Structure 1
């Protein structure tokens, strides 16, 4: 139950929702942490235990651990691609409160200390489209730990018999690591870490050497020893990590520039047949386009200007006067069509310029189709 609860707490802390960019370490860093140390029940094989097996002095028992704590400090290097390597010093402590077998009372504690080399990998969540200031990581480590049993005594009920365990031995250690780092806001390089570690240590016995044990009864003291199987620590750790050379976060992506929609033309030309002021089918289409455009652009006034070429049905000044009137009639035809297309009459100004301002310069008395026109100008 204790193991399940601690695992759940570590998972919830690592999954807390936040928002910002996570840091991938580049360069040197230091890491400090501490937390709860839960040791699995240990199996011991006893030689010289005359109470449990008087005939041979051989027996097996299990030592149950209670509360404990762990602390570590490490110095490492981040390679900027998620990989890190570090050297770690660690200290573990655990209470012992029970030995299996006949009714007994057991009290004592043990501790381990030493060093490990760890290789870890930070998982950049941004590559999965997740932009949060949390960096999960996994790792493995190996090293050497000394295991020390403080005097641990077992008293058997209703007997004068007791045993005492103690001593220090060293051996190979290994660990697996999983955790997450949270970037502290406004403090570049500083991270809060939560992690779970499974720390294992090879058994003690054989060439490594067992732990000494003493047995006491009414006849005196008997010396023996204990061979322990592999030891497993489950550790739930809260820590602080500081990277000395934190790379600045990448610049934000450039904003996407949406090109402006093309602006509708503000000048439209309507052409007429010679000596005519009525609109052709094509001329009505152009007037309709101008009317539609006036609703899509900011328009305060529509200017309608009529023109003719310099040919005329009558010679001289009489012809010029005639062409002036013809240009006004053409402009009026366009105005009437604009009104039919929904343009308010009050927004339209009509002008007639006769032969003046030709679009194409010509000689006298020339029938030029492009000069027989009305210009619709959106202001």
Structure 2
């Protein structure tokens, strides 16, 4: 199934209609040994529900229901000597046909339901349990099968505790509306008083089991709870200031000539310089050692920097804004020769700890693949997944916090 928008938490209402069938209702008199098995035809049922969704899986609802079945047969399983079943009133002779009558049940139930899958799934199965009250109206009129001249009937109701099991499949047709295909199995007890046309034929009140109640309905459920506020992630941090310009190269050091000794010779008993001595004393122009060239300037290394990429709830694909942050990180990494790029994925606490570790690893992998696709050397990229162990904003377990759904990109050049 394709993805659908998430149903908001909060209140919802629903109506259902469908088909109801009831197994044989076995009853027995509380004052005599008379017993009746009441068989019914399948008929319609309808329900109205008001519920509240707590999170993506759990919800509760108050349900009012109505089930109706026409009586097809009232038979007697008891011993001989007891009036044997109930026939039609008219004609009073001939075949024993079904008496006129019906069983109508009105229920008020409190249900607890669990929706499988994730809130964005278009098709979601669900199960549930319910408890409440079942009021059964018993109404029929006829004659005893072995005494067609004696009339017998009932027009009574009883309210008893009831329980039901629920299973179904919900189809999201919008972010607020669902079609619910629902099966209900209801069990309860029932009682009713009888009347006869002669006092001698009285058979007293009856009690029995109203169970094997099967209902299949199709309904519309609409959520009118408040939408979650749209989260706007904070803007990325401003880029760091440009690095200061490199210092100017030191001035060249003047080359100092090596020490040297010269010898000047004189004539005997003379102190004036001869021509040869003068040539030794005179410093010859242009004789000096060249100074070495200045050292080359040191290449400027970019500063380490971290980028933060935010994700939608329970998603590991990049939004348009997240892709923009990854592009900024890739461009910055390509301004130098990074020695290490560490991508760390994180998750909030809305899922299980094990699931969140896997989700954070998928987020880190998505960011790393996007960096490589934009020219960053994959050999220097390392991955890590923290799950819900390193929250940017601490929360209780089960809280969806947008600041915690992130991946960080740490870029180092040293």
Report the TM range for the smaller structure's normalisation.
0.5 to 0.7
Match among 114, 135, 148 for residue 159 of structure 1 = 148
Question: 2:269 maps to which residue?
Answer: none
Query: 1:11-160 residue pairs with structure 2 within 5 A?
Result: 18-21=1-4, 23-46=6-29, 57-101=32-76, 102=84, 104-105=96-97, 106-124=99-117, 132-154=121-143, 156=145, 159-160=148-149
How far apart are 1:104 and its partner, in Å? 3.3
Query: 1:282-321 residue pairs with structure 2 within 5 A?
Result: none
Question: 1:212 maps to which residue?
Answer: 193
> How far apart are the structure 1 equivalents of 2:105 and 2:159?
9
Q: Which has the higher contact order (CA 8 A, sep 6+)?
A: 1
How far apart are 1:139 and its partner, in Å? 0.6
Query: 1:182-221 residue pairs with structure 2 within 5 A?
Result: 182-184=171-173, 187-201=174-188, 203-204=189-190, 210-216=191-197
Contact 1:23/1:183, CA 8 A, preserved across alignment: no
CA gap of 1:134–1:47, structure 2 versus 1, over 3 A, is same
Q: Which has the higher strand share?
A: 1
> How far apart are the structure 1 equivalents of 2:192 and 2:170?
39
What secondary structure is seen at the aligned counterpart in 2 of 1:161? strand
Structure 2 portions without partners, runs of 5+:
77-83, 85-94, 231-311, 320-365, 377-414
Per-residue Cα deviation, 1:92-134 (whole angstroms, up to 9, x for no partner): 11111101235732331011213111111111158xxxx8511
Matched, 1:180 2:165: no
Runs of 4+ in 1 over 6 A off after TM superposition: none
Question: 1:304 maps to which residue?
Answer: none
> How far apart are the structure 2 equivalents of 1:159 and 1:47?
23
Structure 1 portions without partners, runs of 5+:
1-17, 49-56, 205-209, 264-379
Contact 1:25/1:79, CA 8 A, preserved across alignment: no
Question: 2:216 maps to which residue?
Answer: 236
CA gap of 1:261–1:173, structure 2 versus 1, over 3 A, is closer
Alignment RMSD (CA, Å): 3.0
CA gap of 1:78–1:62, structure 2 versus 1, over 3 A, is same
Contact 2:187/2:213, CA 8 A, preserved across alignment: yes
Per-residue Cα deviation, 1:43-97 (whole angstroms, up to 9, x for no partner): 011357xxxxxxxx52222111112221111111101131101111111111111
Matched, 1:259 2:372: yes
Contact 1:104/1:155, CA 8 A, preserved across alignment: no
Contact 1:23/1:135, CA 8 A, preserved across alignment: no
CA gap of 1:260–1:198, structure 2 versus 1, over 3 A, is closer
